[in-house]
Structure 1
């Protein structure tokens, strides 16, 4: 390494050119990098959706969901199966082990679904397989209005949606709100009875009339041409002339038995923006694309469309790229603040602005080098990698500070006049002395991130880039410290000022330290017991800390989820939504909101969502607004309301404001019975309120029970009766026709006033196989029964979720106490408490991180033992690790910060940084003991090392303060990491200086270190840290002399 420094000092122009190349390629890497909120995460999950119209949840569960679960349960790599059966819809979600090839899993699942399809009811739709990932949510939401369009839905669906679908990086474009246009064949009951036709026969005749039938090929001259028979109806008037097949054989046209006209669906989908009806369009990006690319192309399309139609108004309601840019810019601001703060601290200690500039110049060089390596690794610019750069600033300057101070000491000890050659020599000598030590210190910090490279799952995907980025920064800072710093020292020739702002305070601190240690050092056993006591107290505080998987970012968005009573009419649901809107619009912090209801999708049709967007200059934090709205909306009736912060990491966030327990068992009735008991008992408690369960939303349904004997006597089957009832109530969608270039559905159905009530359904007349008629009530009983709104299962067991809200500030003990007093006594051997997805992931990811931390501790021990050539000294230095826990857990407790994946990564980083001060102290003490007695050596080692320890520690700590303050939208995501390091480094620094000498004395005993004899006196200024080869050679020489 010293040879590299020699080359740099002898070839300054070459070095400067290399730095310019580094700046150029670093800038290229930055400008060409992909910008995302978080690193790309591959979560192998597949979803199977099956539509079974008209079926209640119990039938869907028995006939669809169970069949699919049994068929796919044997797939390889499958981690869990979760299902939900609701009215007319089965949803089966398959979660695979991390690392599973999603494409291969999709193909295997497709084969299984093809096999089970033959076992499903004939009137059930073919199951649809969807791939779920972190990008499944919409990236852009638009609100569209056009005053010149009578049917806004058809205009948007037919004219605008295709334009957005043309965008290359768009994966899906969905529409919500308004009513779609269709051709209604409204049959006349009297005419149907007169001509003895049915809805199904009319639909069949329409389908037969709209014909395109391939016949094969024929030869025309020397060419072969395809032949097909085709007959289409492209106008409503043509549809009216379609001939129908009737038993009498008479010529009867469609217009003779039905009214044919164009109309719109009764609105079952609602979309409003700021209280005004609109059409909502949601656009999601392809997994390989970025939100920035999608945003740019969508904005170009919007500008073009609005320029072509002056009446068109498209509002960009939500754009994920905006929150990404805001989050990244807040991290960049934090990074700049960290750099400036570090330079100020250096000036305060050295008193020379040139010294600050020297260290400051090494920071951008190291960062740009890290950008180049990140680009080569394919890392994007996201909150995690940018936070790694911010964290790395404090650690990056450590090496530069050590080298710079070493150069100052070399100059101070030199008796020659300080000219260019002398500054060159001093720069070389200062770097030579500490070169091996900065290498060792960097190695101990970098080695803790090795376990991250082997982590799988969510933690590995999320934090591997963080670990690699910090290693890149530290490696670059090491090279910068032995090249850029000596070169700048030679060129700028800085002087250490005796009257630096912190010179006198440091001298006083050194004197105070010497006095204090003369009292503390003889009481080494007392020191040991005090430190152990503090450690035990910190571990006690750790048990009081709450836990979460990961903190959420605050982008000023709130999601209000509204679950209405099953079967509630759209008009009534709209009244509830308007009541909620009327409450939240009174908040001055609200800027805009978008309301969505119905429209299909994965969520049930009785669920609504209000996405609220707060002002940037709001008076309250988003979390406080959420708490306030929860109280204000508590009195809204006939629905369940959930108010949560909207975050890109919301699926990985958990909060203790809500109580939740999951019951699992193989017998649905048993799980239901126990759930009802627990709900009743929870409602009697004072510490939890607003108790709900999955089963409470059961609703009455009409069930038609066919009498097999009566139906057979009438010449009818259960399927024919069911089909007739379905057609009478829901109609039949027969075909599509093309009108003005747009495909419009054709639906055969009765008038809206027919079969609207239960009495009308009971009066339905069925046509028998012989052409006769029979009343529905003659062959079946019409009954009211209760049916659950949804049936949930997990790993083929029934699952019921009971939830509520705490009436006071809750902790983990609160939930445990409630479960022990209420839930556990009601359980049976076949019913157990299950984990929700957040708790399950937390257990899995935390276990992986605990193993990584343990591995990192072992690797640090190995590196230091090799560095000191002594396991004993390695154990001494490692006592700084438990010291750090005192401050880390203490500061987490004081700031009410939860233990999360991010804070555990902070502990991983911490154990790699706190040992550096210990290395510095132990190495200096070993050197001083060659010429001093043990007590004096320990005291002087601590006093001498106070300034470099304070400088390196303060730059690291203070540079993390902006991150610890959670500045910016994404501040909460990485706050825990900074708090752990600030608290840990602070405590470790104090404990290292005050208590490590006592541990050193206890573990060293009366052993003496032989004084180095090389002719001539020792250098008057101490080595900053140990050298591998130097210590090894010294030990060998000393051993040889002893034998002589």
Structure 2
């Protein structure tokens, strides 16, 4: 490394060619680097889904959920097991420790389930084991509007959906909200019985008539002809005119026996855009593809579709790529602004454009070189990697400043440009390398950080590492080479502003000298003040609060509506319309997208719920509204309280929240009895709701749907020769209807549904009069065969780690998570839980505790690594210890920075503290190293300290100001997507602002104290 500058100065063409290659490869790499909001995350979660049709929640829990839970609990690396038992379905979510190979984990789960299959009910469907991949979540939702919803459904299904499915990177396309028609055959079972024919016979007849069958081959005139019997109905009229042979030998047309017509199916879902009925298209991408690239393909295809189909309107409902583009663009602009401010500081100190440009070139070249390294290591352009650029942009010039200043010093001594460049760069090469390594070394412990925190910040660490290593290479090659050609040693006539800056710096230097001289005479006072500052800043951490991760402001939120079970779709739509009216009055809202009727939860929305609805709200861009999403949400939340008859929940809709620990507040209550758990959860909800700052307090317990239970009198049914299956089938076919066949008209298929008349469903009195056919050929009313009662049980039974549980959740507003949970804990301590019941915090609180335990280890490892590198450089165990005292001073500044800015302590802030540990020691290295050089030249300790301090003040101020000003745009957080970088940048800025002046004063004092102690020990030994 010592000889690299010499080679670079003597081979300028080679250096330029290497730089050109770096620029070329970097440009190509940048064009191919995928863009995403966050790094690709590996969430080690698997789901076991098992269907057991007809079984209730209790039966599903006992017969399926419990045995599978016990089996998968023995799989390696299992962290948590959560299950949901609902009517006809069991969903078991297995969370593994971070780093688990999910391919092997899912294989082992299947093996464990295979071992217990013989103990499971015979009529269950095959259990399905799936991995949860956050990269495969829906990335875009489109809304399609037009005049005729029925024709629109056909256009979307047959013309738009296939084209979108063929796009590269699209995994699946789902449609909801349309209208479909079917052929409805409505029967009156009593009248049909009078004709001597049953619903089952009618259904079998339709299926037998509506069919095409091959009949083999025949030989005609020495040619083989394929025989094909064509019996499929060609029109609705053909169905109506179908002759039916009655038992008495007569023949009747089907339309004479039943009512036949086309009708719209009852809507399972209703989709609307700004109040206009629409069809919703939801798209998922393949996990290996990039969000922005896939979205670009969709936009291109949308433009073509809109040009071809000008009678419809396509509108973006949600699009992850929009926030990704804006966020990455904003971070890029912020990094560029930081670079400009850093270069401006260089110019003010160097007073020469040529000298400034020599160093400024290290910024873009280092960044472009980093693009190449990112491409070959599989990184992406995202908020964290670009945040790494913005974080390191001020540090990229530090090495160049040290090298250039030393070269300039040699030129002032009379060395030729070439010799000055060689000797000046070689003299500081080892120090520059050690300084860079101390900064890079702090990122190594991030590898040991477990969980989602490590997954996210590894890319930031690698980006900063790559850029700093590239900067080191540039400072030892390109800068010496350029210095030998273009460096100025005589100052030209400077601008008046530059002269004023120079005069002010000289005044600051004289003031610093006087402060340093006074401090050397009052060392006890200085150390006491430094200790007080450290203690006060440490205590301030108790005031600022804590949270797991800052909430992203994507400008979207969702309103979830839940009516009592059994409510009709029309009732839900009425409530939704009231909410839409309130939303339209809000000037900050840009779009309202409604979906009525939906599944129960994320992992298993099996079946539709007519009592559920959701509204996705898109706000205007941040600068156009001037309010944070959380403020708009709180305003809307209070307005919606006036609507009665439904549970309404308003929450921030974030596509990037997957994996960030769930809700802000999650209290999981565990025990055996569902009723007791429900009572406790209701008490907990009242307690949590009484805490200041909590919003949307709710539990995940849901009452079951009211159901009419029929109990057969087996003595009576057996006398008629009836079995349970026969009775249940008759009831289902008449009430729910059954698809007998499909009718193809104009290339489109329609279901032919046979069902009973509506009066059978209009009351219990009518329902129990349903005639049940007997083996003797007659009918018997249902009321003579059964007893009935209306009941209601739990709709879902949830379990956590094989124990029943109910979770109470809440969000927070204008308060940090830690403060809210402390208040909740204070109130819950006085709550007396029944024996055998307990509670614990889940969600972000649990994630925060896990992350902090890993990050504390990372901080300790970072400090030890930095100390070891310094000890290697100084060949001393004492001097590195002195330099490392700047680290706690920096932590003090970081804590005070959070306090002043009102930002809670979070994972990004702790990462900022780790980064800070590597940055602040550089100033100490520069200072202590020069003191040692002067001491080696026999200069007295006090004079060496003062001389080194005043001499190194300029480079220390330059490196500090370039880093701080480079981070100020990032810390201001005035753009979308800056939530992660703001705490990190604030900690680094606060640490540097406080630690730099303290380093310039405290470290020399500590150096003198240790030196005096060493002299004292030496004198004691001489006396002995």
Same fold, TM exceeding 0.5? yes
Task: Choose which of 842, 845, 853 in structure 1 pairs with 2:851.
Answer: 845
Does the aligned pair in 2 maintain the 1:590–1:614 contact within 8 Å? Answer: yes
Following superposition, the deviation at residue 356 of structure 1 comes to: 1.7
Contact 1:550 1:649 in 2 (8 A): no
Residue from 890, 911, 918 that aligns with 2:924:
918
Distance of aligned partners of 1:297 and 1:811 in 2 relative to their CA distance in 1, 3 Å threshold: closer
Q: Give me the whole-angstrom Cα distance separating, in 2, the residues matched to 1:845 and 1:441.
A: 28
1:662-681 aligned at under 5 Å gives the runs 662-679=668-685
Shift in Å, 1:893:
1.9
Q: 2: CA distance between counterparts of 1:901 and 1:567?
A: 44
- Is residue 678–residue 823 contact of structure 1 (8 Å, CA) maintained in 2? no
Partner of 1:350: 350
Aligned with 1:610 (options 607, 610, 615): 615
State whether structure 2 residue 473 is matched by structure 1 residue 490: no
Asked if 2 retains the 8 angstrom alpha-carbon contact of 1:215 and 1:228, the reply is yes
- For 1:824 and 1:246, locate their aligned partners in 2 and report how far apart those are by CA, in whole Å: 76
User: Which moved further from structure 2: 118-127 or 454-463?
Assistant: 118-127
Distance 1:987 1:221 in 2: 104
Name the structure 1 match of 2:946.
939
CA separation of 1:222 and 1:879: change in aligned 2, threshold 3 A: farther
1:971 to 972, 978, 990: 978
Q: Sort the Cα spacing of 1:908 and 1:212 in 2 relative to 1 into closer, same or farther, 3 A.
A: farther
User: Aligned-pair distance for 1:635?
Assistant: 2.3
C-alpha distance in structure 2 between counterparts of 1:113 and 1:220, whole Å? 59
| Distance apart, 1:928 and its partner CA | 2.3
Query: Hey, what does 1:722 align to over in structure 2?
Result: 728
Q: Residues 637-786 of structure 1: matches in 2 within 5 Å?
A: 637-652=644-659, 660-679=666-685, 691-695=697-701, 697=703, 700-786=706-792
Task: Go from structure 1 to structure 2 and tell me whether the alpha carbon gap of 1:952 and 1:536 turns closer, same or farther (over 3 Å shift).
Answer: same
Contact kept? 1:158, 1:742, Cα under 8 Å = no
Q: Which residue of 2 aligns with 1:1007?
A: 1014
Shift, 1:594, TM fit: 1.0
CA 1:812–1:461 in 2, change beyond 3 Å: closer, same or farther? closer
Q: Secondary structure at the match of 1:548?
A: coil
SS of equivalent to 1:650: coil
Within 5 A, what are the aligned runs for 1:794-833? 794-803=800-809, 809=815, 812-822=818-828, 825-833=831-839
Moved more, 106-115 or 42-51: 106-115
1:663-689, CA deviations, whole angstroms, 9 ceiling, x for partnerless residues? Answer: 122332332233344446667888868
How far, CA to CA, are the matches of 1:551 and 1:459 in structure 2?
13
Comparing 921-930 with 669-678, greater Cα deviation is found at 669-678
Using structure 1 for the length normalisation, give the TM-score.
Answer: 0.89
Moved more, 332-341 or 258-267: 258-267
Q: Which moved more, 1:333-342 or 1:108-117?
A: 108-117
CA shift for structure 1 position 230 = 8.3
Kept in 2: contact 1:551–1:653 (CA 8 A): no
Q: Which moved more, 1:364-373 or 1:525-534?
A: 525-534
1:587 aligns with 2:590: no
**Aligned mates of 1:764, 1:147 — CA distance in 2:** 41
Cα offset for 1:948?
A: 1.0
Once residues 629 and 406 of structure 1 are traced to their aligned partners in structure 2, the CA distance between those partners, rounded to angstroms, is: 62
Question: Distance between the aligned counterparts of 2:229 and 2:212, measured in 1?
Answer: 6
Q: Does 1:6 align with 2:29?
A: no
| Range with greater deviation from structure 2 (524-533 or 536-545) | 524-533
1:129 CA displacement: 4.9
8 A Cα contact 2:708 2:788, kept in partner: yes
- Alignment CA distance shift 1:687-1:402 (3 Å): closer
Q: Which residue of 2 is the match for residue 1023 of structure 1? A: none
Task: Quote the Cα distance in structure 1 between the aligned partners of 2:749 and 2:522.
Answer: 90
Query: CA separation of 1:301/1:655 partners in 2, compared to 1, >3 Å: closer, same or farther?
Result: closer
Structure 1 gaps, min length 5: 417-421, 1010-1041
Within-5 A mapping of 1:881-896? 881-896=887-902
Q: 2:956 aligns to what SS in structure 1?
A: helix
- Counterpart CA distance in 1 for 2:209 and 2:829 is 63
Residues in 2 aligned to 1:950 and 1:102: alpha-carbon distance in whole angstroms: 50
State how far apart, in whole Å, the 2-side matches of 1:131 and 1:245 are: 55
Q: 1:225 and 1:713, CA in 2 relative to 1: closer, same or farther beyond 3 A?
A: same
What secondary structure, in the 3-state scheme, does the structure 1 residue paired with 2:651 have?
A: strand
TM-score scaled to structure 2, two decimals? Answer: 0.90
Flag the 1:998–1:713 CA change in 2: closer, same or farther, 3 A: farther
Which segment drifts farther, 319-328 or 638-647?
638-647
User: Partner of 1:568 in structure 2?
Assistant: 567
Q: Distance in 2 between matches of 1:948 and 1:687?
A: 47
CA offsets 1:731-776 (integer angstroms, 9 cap, x no match): 2234444433333333222233432322222333323344443333
Structure 1 residues 349 and 747, CA, compared in 2 at 3 Å: closer, same or farther?
same
Q: Per-residue deviation at 1:971?
A: 0.6
Deviation at residue 463 of structure 1 after TM alignment? 1.7
Structure 2 CA distance for aligned equivalents of residues 279 and 443 of structure 1: 57
2:471 corresponds to: 477
- Alignment partner of 1:43: what SS? coil
Q: Flag structure 2 segments of 5+ consecutive residues without an equivalent.
A: 1017-1021
* More deviation, 348-357/11-20: 11-20
Check whether the contact 1:755–1:761 (CA below 8 A) recurs between aligned residues.
yes
CA contact (8 A) 1:552 1:649 kept: no
* Change over 3 Å in CA distance of 1:808–1:450 after alignment to 2: closer
Cα distance in 2 for partners of 1:245, 1:889 equals 90
Which residue of 442, 446, 468 maps to 1:452? 446
* 2:428 match: 434
Cα separation, 2, equivalents of 1:408 and 1:159: 71
Identify the residue that residue 577 of structure 2 maps to in structure 1.
Answer: 578
Contact 1:140 1:283 in 2 (8 A): yes
Change (3 A) 1:811 1:551: closer
**Contact 1:563/1:639, CA 8 A, preserved across alignment:** yes
Distance 1:827 1:719, change over 3 A: farther
- Cα drift, residue 852 of structure 1: 1.9
Q: Distance in 1 between matches of 2:230 and 2:73?
A: 46
RMSD of equivalent CA atoms:
3.5
Question: Are 1:199 and 1:732, in contact at CA under 8 Å, matched by a contact in 2?
Answer: no
Secondary structure of the equivalent of 2:854?
helix
Q: Which SS does the other structure have where 1:642 is aligned?
A: strand
Report the Cα distance in structure 1 between the residues aligned to 2:898 and 2:921, rounded to whole angstroms.
Answer: 21
Task: Answer yes or no: is the 8 Å Cα contact 2:189–2:199 preserved in 1.
Answer: no
Deviation at 1:625, TM superposition (A): 1.5
Q: Which residue number corresponds to residue 531 of structure 1?
A: 530
Judge which range, 241-250 or 974-983, deviates more.
241-250
